[in-house]
Chain A
Amino acid sequence: MKRSKSVKLVAMGTGLLLIAACDEAKVDTALFESVDQCTGLGFSKQECTTNYKNAQQTHIVAAPKYTSRLDCEADFGAEKCEKAPQRTTSGGSVFMPLMAGYLMGNMMSGSGRGQPLYRSAGEAGTFRTADNKAVGSKIGRTQVAKSAAATPTTKTRTTSRGGFGKNARSSMRRSFGG
């Protein structure tokens, strides 16, 4: 036979040939808006505080960064952004969303590596990590995908956009392949 034995798509369309995506491994964790909520659910005061402080520190480096408050608020909602301590190379202000909560670090190892969570304007009920991964909407113990629980990337500010695509703008086609 010179053809594929089967063709499987995991996300395009919803047809007969589709199979469900394999579930990624999950880790036990918990998410909170405050240290009080955390201790209220039976975690030790020290565990809650360390995770919260670590999340605040990570927030500074990992939160998405904007050079305009309006752009930031467009993504996270009115008055949901703050000035970041960073500056642009020309000395301008940098903005980032307010930390809306935190995700506890590895519960098994007892590490204090909590990470910040955010709520986007379009979907305010859902907590998202600094890498824009949804982790749930309910306060308390939960399970999240292993990749979402990983330490978020440091956001080095984007200084310019739109440096690719000029050739495409100069012609009107439905495809730029050949």
Chain B
Amino acid sequence: MERIPVEPREDWRETAEVHGFQFHTPDDELYWDESVYYRLTLEQIERDLENPTEELEQLCFQVVERALTDETVLMRLGIPEYFWDYITGSWRSQERNLYGRMDFAYSGNGPAKLLEYNADTPTALYESSIFQWVWLEQAIERDLIPRESDQFNSIHEALTQAWSSLEIKDVLHLACCKDTAEDEGTVEYMADCARQGGAETRLIYIEDIGINTKGQFTDLQDTPIETMFKLYPWEWMMSEEFSERIPGSNVRFIEPGWKAILSNKGLLPLLWEMFEGHPNLLPAYFDGDPAATALEGNYVRKPLFSREGANIEFFEGGEQTINIDGDYGAEGHIVQALNPLPHFNGNYPMIGSWLVASQPCGICIREDATLVTGDDARFVPHIILG
């Protein structure tokens, strides 16, 4: 794995806008960065990322099975008791999932280590799937990178296929929050894939969802919502005014309710408890577990629910060395063995490994100038060569 400087396409901003990629430079800070790319070998991709992602997904399913037969697990995950039956039902009736992103620390040598699993509302999808692909094609065409370069990225094909196999017969509603340009972009992209899969789509803001006298959720035209893709975390869905109406609403949610178990950082200690020593896992414990002394004071403390690096604390030799602000953490924490991201010329890349319908289908690399990948990280493309 190498970090290689490269000439940016001089027209990349125009190309981005033409392709509907509007948030490439939010708040005047570069997010899409094609002045550099990472080169991985095919062996690194397949042996160290693709295969482990597939294997870890299967281990995650075993965690779900266990959580649904052992209520103490759901309790430790901080999932409200009201939803236990609902979540169990969504798994037992085999409600299908669409996508997720596992984040790894990986340097090119040794096994990739799972840092966390964004199983419910992963973002950076469009730029991974489309814009990274467009960059590769054009960079080859313009001789900026070697002709025989490839990329681990069949995300778009996998998504359109997955949407068509979800067989949505009625209208598909896609929901995200107001005033979030990036999320709107993601939802519009998803809608595009779903339409190619044959669905009829309508966008709605999470804040605009209504409830009718029959207990169905409705859109702004009062049309009952039957199937909804929601770019809004399950733990929030389960803690708001309409939460208790979810089970009776008969909405088919994408992602399904059981994803609440996997999108929780509590997944990490559960995986370690069940598969201790697995090469792609880091030792992890629920905060307060006496067994955590095994980490000898070198660990990262994370809230059960946290996004984009918020409320992350690093400890080395028992001393706090990094502490990121944020609004998360009231629901509990986990601790995970300290395994810093590798650095390349002062940059810390984190590899996101995409799953669509539980199959690995691509990666994205986000670089930060610090050890914690926050929402100011830059998206950097990759190639496979060798």
Contact = CB atoms under 8 A, between A and B. Distances in A.
Interface of A: 1-5, 7-17, 21, 64-65, 89, 131-132, 147, 153, 155-171, 173-178
A162 B245 CA distance: 13
Contacts of A1: 150
Contacts of B222: 64-65, 155-158
Given A4-B155, A9-B20, 10 more contacts: A2-B150, A2-B153, A2-B154, A3-B133, A3-B153, A65-B222, A131-B221, A159-B212, A166-B236, A176-B233
Contact of B240 (A7, A10, A166, A173): A166
Contacts of A176: 121, 176-177, 180, 183, 231-233, 236, 307
Interface stretch (B105-113, B186-194, B292-300): B186-194
Nearest to B263: A178
B240 A158 contact: no
Contacts of A162: 207-208, 241
Contact of B19 (A15, A21, A173, A177): A15
Interface stretch (B88-96, B122-130, B279-287, B338-346): B122-130
Interface string B198-235: 00100001111111111010100111100000011100
Contacts of A13: 17-21
Interface in B214-270: 214, 216, 218, 221-224, 231-233, 236-237, 239-242, 245
Given A15-B15, A17-B134, A176-B233, A164 B242 contact: yes
User: Lowest 3 A-B CB distances belong to which pairs?
Assistant: A163-B242, A177-B123, A12-B20
Given A2-B154, A156-B222, A178 B118 contact: yes
A156 B242 CA distance: 17
A156 B18 contact: no
Contacts of A2: 42, 45, 150-154, 384
Contacts of A166: 236, 240-241
Interface string B133-151: 1101000000000000011
A171 B327 contact: yes
Residue among A7, A157, A159, A171 with max Cβ neighbours from chain B (10 Å): A7
B363 to A, nearest CB: 10
B23 to A, nearest CB: 7
Contacts of A5: 157
Interface of B: 15, 17-21, 23, 26-27, 42, 45, 118, 121-124, 129-130, 133-134, 136, 150-157, 160, 176-178, 180-183, 186, 188-189, 191-192, 195-196, 200, 205-214, 216, 218, 221-224, 231-233, 236-237, 239-242, 245, 306-308, 327, 362, 375, 384
B189 A160 contact: no
A67 B360 CA distance: 48
Nearest to A176: B177
Contacts of B122: 177-178
A91 B238 CA distance: 31
Nearest to A86: B213
A174 to B, nearest CB: 5
A153 B224 contact: yes
Contacts of B176: 176
A14 B18 contact: yes
A131 B223 contact: yes
B234 to A, nearest CB: 11
A9 B153 contact: no
Given A132-B221, A159-B210, A11 B192 contact: yes
A170 B236 CA distance: 12
Nearest to A177: B123
Nearest to B15: A15
Listed residue (B122, B214, B221) with the most chain A CB atoms within 10 angstroms of its CB: B221
Contact of B206 (A12, A155, A158, A168): A168
A178 B123 contact: yes
Contacts of B189: 9, 12
Nearest to B198: A22
A177 B152 CA distance: 23
A165 B204 CA distance: 12
A165 B195 CA distance: 26
Contact of B180 (A12, A155, A159, A175): A175
Contact of A164 (B195, B218, B240): B240
19 contacts: A12-B19, A13-B20, A17-B134, A65-B222, A153-B223, A155-B221, A156-B214, A158-B212, A161-B211, A163-B241, A164-B236, A165-B205, A167-B233, A167-B236, A167-B240, A168-B180, A168-B206, A175-B123, A178-B118
A167 B308 CA distance: 16
A16 to B, nearest CB: 8
A147 B306 CA distance: 42
A169 B183 CA distance: 15
Contacts of A158: 210-212, 218, 222
A171 B186 CA distance: 20
